[in-house]
Each structure stands twice: as C-alpha cells, then as structure tokens.
Amino acid sequence: MNFVIHGQSSMPSIAGGYLVIKLNNQVFHITSVPSPFLLGEGYRDSIVENDDDLEDDDGNHYLVNVWSSNVGVDWEIKIDAADDALKNRVSVEYQPNEF
C-alpha cells in the first residue's frame, strides 16, 4: 500500500527547524527543515529543499521532501508500506527553531 502525508506551516522557517516523524507515537526520524533563501526576489527564488530516503525495521520505505520558502514550509512524505495499518501509526510534527 502506498500513501502520502502532506503538511504545511504558513510561518517561514527563518532559522530552520525540524520535521519529526513519529511511528507508534515514538520518534522514528528527524529531517532538517532548511531556512529559505531570503534574498530571492519572489516565492520561486526563495525555495530551498531538503529530502531524506529511509526505511524502518519492518521494511517500509519513506521518501521525505521538505520545501522552505519566504511564505512558509511545506512537506510531503511518500510511504510504501507492507502493512495497510501503518497509515494510522505514522504522524508528523513540524518544530521551527526560534529566531
């Protein structure tokens, strides 16, 4: 089973931050959220991306993409799961660094 988790925050990540992925309410993985390119002339010029490619102990595959821009942070986690119930056991939390 494949599924995707989308999320966003309308607060730009001026000082970076972290995307915390939890499995069964336990921290499974932390992905760095980059600071946007603040000298960009517009939204498109300010985007900075980070991605991670990982697997859990059960062989489920996760592809994490995080985009940071002058208008906020967006993320997408594509999961290729062996078990349909995994969808109910994964959660994501965005934690910005204070500036």
Structure tokens at 39: 């000298």
Q: What confidence category does residue 81 fall into, taking pLDDT thresholds of 50, 70 and 90? A: very high
pLDDT level of residue 23 (50, 70, 90 thresholds): very high
Give the pLDDT score at 99.
Answer: 67
Residues 6+ apart with CB under 8 A from 51: 63, 64, 65, 66
What are the tens digits of pLDDT across the range 24-76?
999 999 999 999 998 888 888 899 999 999 999 999 999 999 999 999 999 99
Is the pLDDT assigned to residue 14 strictly greater than 80?
yes
Cα–Cα separations (whole angstroms), residue 20 to 64, 77, 96: 11, 11, 11
Q: Is the pTM of this model over 0.75?
A: yes
Confidence category of residue 82, pLDDT binned at 50, 70, 90: confident
* Domain extent listing, the chain: 2-96
